[in-house]
Amino acid sequence: MKWLFNIFRIQQQVIFRMMAVFLLLLMISCTEEMELEPAAYVKNIIIDATLTNENQYQLVRLFYTQSFTDDSSKMVEAAMVTVTSGDSVVRFIERDTFPGYYFSEIPFAGEPGKTYHLLITNVDINVDGEWDVFEASATMASALEMDSVTYTYIPQWKATSLNCYAWDPQERNYYNFIAWVNGVMVTDSLFEYNVTNDDQFNGNYTNGVTCQFLQDEKEYEHIENGDTLTLEIDNIDLAYFNYINSAQKEYNGYNPMFGGLPANVSSNISNNAIGIFRVYTVSKKSCVVKGLVR
């Protein structure tokens, strides 16, 4: 049996040596300089359109994409923008002082349960003499009725959590959580949004589920006694939920060994446009910081 053991040991040594050579080659290949030819730049439009249940001037912003050599993005001017729902049509007017910014001609609030259709025309992306048309549709979800919002200071994280108490509707919902401090939105970047579905509490009471965090190390999130904290919960649709998730993944990057390749952020707008038509309801509740001890 000794000869059999020796053969097994020799096989192990051969396998280990082969693995070492493979890893060495892999390391060398990973550090080898590669020159990649960038793809040809293709001009496109970026559409950032928002409609909420808040009674205000709703907004559509239009940009052209830019190449690596461009210093700044160029706004899309003189477009025709409308939002319709049933027989109702609202025009969006570009303001002279804000090129590329199209505000609804009247302030209005979107209604839960209604489907809204965005139409953008009078844009010639390729300058070929033909108008390009961009469309999108989205249905406004119901507003989440919150009972209250509380806060919890977490010393080991040096952060404050905002916690929500509310009944979640029976239907499937997608939420975006945003934090405000003393009337100022502090998680104001798309990459600071916190989105989730309601799989964990669908149709039930949330009972203080944590929705957002405020970090002590960030100037505008550092709270003190007397501050007013506000939690905003946006009930969004699946398209906007996927848009936020995909944008955050592209921003944060992928695992180089097991992640996917970079890709365009998902969109619900036709004709290969970049961007999103977001239609959602806004709910807010506030609380005042008292007795905070760090």
Q: What is the DSSP string of 275-293?
A: EEEEEEEEEEEEEE--S--
Listed as ranges, residues in the chain with pLDDT below 50 are 1-16
Measured distance CA(280)–CA(286) in Å, rounded: 20
CA 51 from chain centre, in angstroms, equals 16
pLDDT at 5: 35
What pLDDT digit, counting tens, does each position of 242-251 carry?
Answer: 999 999 988 8
Tell me if the domain spanning 45-139 has CATH number 2.60.40.
yes
pLDDT at 243: 97
Query: Which residue from 219, 201, 221 is spatially nearest to 210, judged by alpha carbons?
Result: 201
The structure tokens listed for 129 are 């003499």
The values of phi and psi at residue 39, to 5°, are -70, 155
pLDDT at 16: 47
Domain with CATH 2.60.40 in the chain: 45-139, 146-266+280-288
Class (C level, CATH) for 146-266+280-288: mainly beta
What pLDDT digit, counting tens, does each position of 190-226 carry?
Answer: 999 999 999 989 999 999 999 999 999 999 999 999 9
Provide the strand spans (E) within the chain.
45-52, 59-64, 80-85, 88-95, 98-104, 115-123, 132-139, 146-154, 159-166, 174-181, 184-185, 194-197, 209-215, 228-236, 274-288
Burial of 141 (0-12, 13-18, 19+ CB in 10 A): buried
The structure tokens listed for 223 are 């709270």
b/e sequence 50-73, b meaning 16+ C-beta within 10 Å: bbbbeeeebbbbbbbeeeeeeeee
